[in-house]
Structure 1
């Protein structure tokens, strides 16, 4: 059946595109990068924003790991986003012995709002947003901040997240996904000119750029995708830094993973609807490629859903003979 061939064409084409982009990036960019950062002459500081919602089991390790980083000029701001568990008390107890700022919001208004509240207290020109279950590699801040010195229009440097919890099969699968597919997509998009989205888990921002685009959007379900597109549409750039590593926790249940991926899909759709017209007006090929990828991805997903629904309604719809036709 031709419709099946058509549906198989898109992921096959994108896979080839990502592989070619990754190889090009590796040969002409990544292999030329220094293995160790420049530790000297660090005159710029970084404010670490850690939004926290019901993270009583992980927030302590994250705060301590950031404070233990050897990067010299840093401050840590923890934002409790109206947690209903014991996160507030855990952070307050830690603050008795550790040096960080605590912004305690009593009402849960989402991660974007928490970040917007946190940045109000930031004293440095560079802002690193990390999740409350994330451990940052010691060299990562050095690698990331170096890029800003070379490009005054660079808004954000997104890092290379790795998986901490690999004890389950689902965790191992996601570890492979992040190490291969997610990294490949960002490398290929870097070659094309624009990265679709920063990593909400781990990104270093220029504070000026955040302020210029109006901060994080509280009305968008995925604040990372939303602010990425705002950067693109306001002539800022985003860079992927594969040497900047962090370790994060991922869902280890089917339900948790499904909820996460539905959220990502919905967030991409919201951004596409909001920024479609403005993207068309950019007359920028890289922006058009992002737009094309988003639109075709959504069309492909809905087509698969419709096809599966039809197959359930009509049991003869998926006659095995089409497979024999395709592969003989």
Structure 2
């Protein structure tokens, strides 16, 4: 049986500060990709010069106005002879065994169209207090989301854009990345599932991604992510999409449940019964049980897992969803 061929594709737009670490992580893989292709997408900084220092191939986009999805689609024409394609962000860093482990997952079934990486947030070293708080919150949120996926890793909803491996045949069948979507990884995952390809979570496919440490930039990112619900509206309801729709409804129900708890507490505070806290205690213990999937656990995780902290996080991100819905109604695009 021949060894499958792998190409790693890295779209890069003004990534001079991050692209070096990204390429070092690819070159350090225990199973090296057969080709590394960097897509220079309208770069105006030193990204191109830095890429030239590495033994990788590079190509520039031509007239691309469709951001990351457009850059990946332009590069995909050069990937047809490969079996697997690793797509990763230029600000991500792969674990040294990422490709080796992803291939093992892929070889498990010909129905697997994508192996999603499991990602955590990079360690930025010493940071000002406000940025440390943002880093801790995002890290906790991402790790908690990962534990939800690990509940059923063989039937994942999303092949994360920060780093995933795709079967080239599957990408060819769905026509590549959807340029109409603001969340191209979510749209591609839906298209793969609609075409009856499986998406699995690579149980040992770790990577480390960047995150905005400025609240304004983080808010903009979350508003954009919330627009991913539009990908569902443009696709039929069925086996491939119902779980994602139910997950969205569930998150709103959780928020409403919290609001109801607050209302009951305010209304009946004089007749407060400590037994009312039992569901919250059970919820907290369930969150602690999920820590077994976290790459590392610190004091901040125990604090952020408290029900009151979780309530405020849900409230904040659901607010981002409302803003995203408003902007969609106003036909406002923001990357």
Cα deviation 1:278-310 (Å, max 9, x = unaligned): 224xxx3x7433322234546877x79xx9xxx
Gaps of 5+ in 1: 1-40, 308-316
TM-aligned CA deviation for residue 124 of structure 1:
1.7
TM-aligned CA deviation for residue 113 of structure 1:
0.9
TM-aligned CA deviation for residue 324 of structure 1:
1.9
**Number of the residue aligned with 1:159:** 117
* Cα distance between partner residues in 2 of 1:163 and 1:230: 27
**Number of the residue aligned with 1:204:** 165
TM-aligned CA deviation for residue 263 of structure 1:
1.0
Of 118, 121, 128, which aligns to 2:78? 121
Change (3 A) 1:161 1:51: same
Change (3 A) 1:327 1:89: farther
TM-aligned CA deviation for residue 215 of structure 1:
0.5
Instruction: Please list, as runs of the form range in 1=range in 2, the aligned pairs for 1:23-62 lying within 5 A after superposition.
Output: 43-62=3-22
Instruction: Please list, as runs of the form range in 1=range in 2, the aligned pairs for 1:166-185 lying within 5 A after superposition.
Output: 166=124, 167=127, 168-179=132-143, 181-185=144-148
How many aligned positions are there?
Answer: 262
Change (3 A) 1:51 1:72: closer
* Cα distance between partner residues in 1 of 2:207 and 2:87: 12
Change (3 A) 1:61 1:72: closer
**Number of the residue aligned with 1:133:** 91
* Cα distance between partner residues in 2 of 1:112 and 1:326: 56
Change (3 A) 1:45 1:327: farther
Does 2:145 correspond to 1:188? no
What is the TM-score when the length of structure 1 is the normalising length? 0.72
Change (3 A) 1:43 1:254: same
Cα deviation 1:154-211 (Å, max 9, x = unaligned): 00000111221344221122222222x1211212353xx7322111101000000011
**Number of the residue aligned with 2:46:** 86
What is the TM-score when the length of structure 2 is the normalising length? 0.71
Instruction: Please list, as runs of the form range in 1=range in 2, the aligned pairs for 1:1-328 lying within 5 A after superposition.
Output: 43-91=3-51, 93-94=52-53, 98-105=54-61, 107-122=64-79, 123-166=81-124, 167=127, 168-179=132-143, 181-190=144-153, 194-267=155-228, 269-275=229-235, 278-280=236-238, 284=239, 287-297=241-251, 321-322=266-267, 324=269, 327-328=272-273
Cα deviation 1:44-65 (Å, max 9, x = unaligned): 1211010001111111221232
Change (3 A) 1:321 1:178: closer
* Cα distance between partner residues in 1 of 2:99 and 2:34: 10
Is contact 2:190–2:241 with CA below 8 Å preserved after alignment? no
Secondary structure class of the residue paired with 2:38? strand
* Cα distance between partner residues in 2 of 1:210 and 1:129: 12
Change (3 A) 1:125 1:54: same
TM-aligned CA deviation for residue 108 of structure 1:
4.7
Is contact 1:128–1:204 with CA below 8 Å preserved after alignment? yes
Change (3 A) 1:327 1:56: farther
Is contact 2:157–2:199 with CA below 8 Å preserved after alignment? no
Cα deviation 1:13-54 (Å, max 9, x = unaligned): xxxxxxxxxxxxxxxxxxxxxxxxxxxx88112110100011
Gaps of 5+ in 2: 274-335
Change (3 A) 1:187 1:319: closer
* Cα distance between partner residues in 1 of 2:16 and 2:163: 20
